[in-house]
Structure 1
Amino acid sequence: MARQNGFTLIELIMVIVILGILSAFALPRFFDVSADARAARVNAGLGAARSALAIVNAKARLSNIGMGEVAQELTLQDKKISVKFGYPEQPFSLLIAAGMETDFDGAGADGIVHKNTHDMGTGRCGFRYIPPTTAGEAPRFEPWPGSSLPVTAADCRRS
């Protein structure tokens, strides 16, 4: 009886076919990690924005600046922030307070998205800041229409 050394051609072809089938399912998921990264970046920005709201509100209350319906400038770490009812008046003021103005931008009247071509074009990979309209009202964060909070990779996927 002859002894076999190595693999037959059929065995090698079967291994290559199985690897090809597995890669057909794994590669699209691997290449779409950019959507996960964009969602994580926006969620981190949302956390920073929430922290900035608390800081701005505390400073406005302590200094009694911007607590009424007329917007006033509040200085926070050498940055001027427009404050009304104790909170940033518009999204850009919130971006300045959170130190995110270089990486994030307002999209539309009250939206905040990351400054990259995809997110600025779709606006779905972001969140909305709704400032208070009356005294005693708290600001809100809302998802973009058609997306969710926290932002998911599905919200940030390239179509």
Structure 2
Amino acid sequence: MTTELFTCNAFVGANLFAPTKAAWPSGKSIGRKTLPGRQNGFTMIELIMVIVILGLLSAIALPRFFDTAADARAARVNAGLGAARSALAIVNAKARLSGIGMGEVEQELTLEGVKIAVKFGYPAQPYSLLVAAGMDADFDGAGADGIVHKNSYDLGTGRCGFRYIPPTTAGEAPRFEPWPGSSLPVTAADCRRN
């Protein structure tokens, strides 16, 4: 009985949860196994796949970043369209209050010191609308009813702009229309140089 007691006392004092040398893996690397004499790195196929993916991303993304000028021109035209709509409301209100330019005959209406040709209560032509909206420095009347940027490309194509159709009878409202082959609001595709 004394022998059994001695054996129990030996186990009681020992730490049963202490790791032994056999519990831990030997060597420096725990995760990926390496063979002796071989280096870690990327394989040729992995490198080629990365190059192909980067090439595809650059083919899709780079043209979008380089064509910011078309986005800027489209935003500028759309802002001009908003200014033109506001100017229409102001000119119409002033014409109604003063009784000038409400008929079929063009009359000059003075708005903030600037004379504007008005007919049926609205600007009679695109240039009058440009002057009323304060856009005559940046935009130009292209043809009989168009409004485009004052730069050689947009004046040549006329697609990066909009059309102003003044009323032809009393009670008719003026209209804004897209150029043939473009849209309203103007998009970057309408203003691209291709």
Aligned equivalents of 2:132, 2:99: Cα separation in 1: 17
Instruction: Note the C-alpha offset of 1:156.
Output: 1.2
- Which residue pairs with 1:103 in the alignment? 138
Q: Equivalent of 1:90, from 122, 125, 133?
A: 125
- Unaligned ranges ≥5, structure 2: 1-35
Report the alpha carbon displacement of residue 88 of structure 1 after superposing the two structures with TM: 0.4
TM-score (norm 1): 0.91
Q: Equivalent of 2:94, from 53, 56, 59?
A: 59
The structure 2 residue matched to 1:21, chosen from 42, 56, 75, is 56
- Counterparts of 1:106 and 1:67, CA distance in 2: 23
Name the residue aligned to 1:121. Answer: 156
Task: Measure, in 1, the Cα distance between the counterparts of 2:98 and 2:38.
Answer: 89
Q: Tell me how far apart the structure 1 counterparts of residues 173 and 86 of structure 2 sit (CA, whole Å).
A: 14
**Structure number with larger C-alpha Rg:** 2
Deviates most, 100-109 or 10-19: 10-19
Gaps of 5+ in 1: none
Aligned mates of 1:116, 1:4 — CA distance in 2: 61
> RCO greater where, 1 or 2, for CA within 8 Å and sep 6 or more?
1
Q: Report how far residue 17 of structure 1 moved.
A: 4.0
Q: Which residue identity is paired with 1:37? A: A
Q: Secondary structure at 1:128's aligned position in 2?
A: strand
1:115 Cα deviation (Å)? 1.0
AA partner of residue 183 (structure 2): S
CA distance in structure 1 between the partners assigned to 2:186 and 2:52 by the alignment: 37
Deviation at 1:18, TM superposition (A): 2.9
State which of 158, 163, 170 in structure 2 corresponds to 1:135: 170
1:66 and 1:13 map into 2 onto residues whose CA distance is 72
Give the SS at the match of 2:105: coil
Moved more, 91-100 or 24-33: 24-33
Aligned length: 158
Determine if the alignment matches structure 1 residue 31 to structure 2 residue 45: no
Identity of aligned residues (%): 84
- Give 1:147's match in structure 2, choosing from 182, 185, 193: 182
Q: CA deviation at 1:12?
A: 5.0
SS of residue matched to 2:168: coil
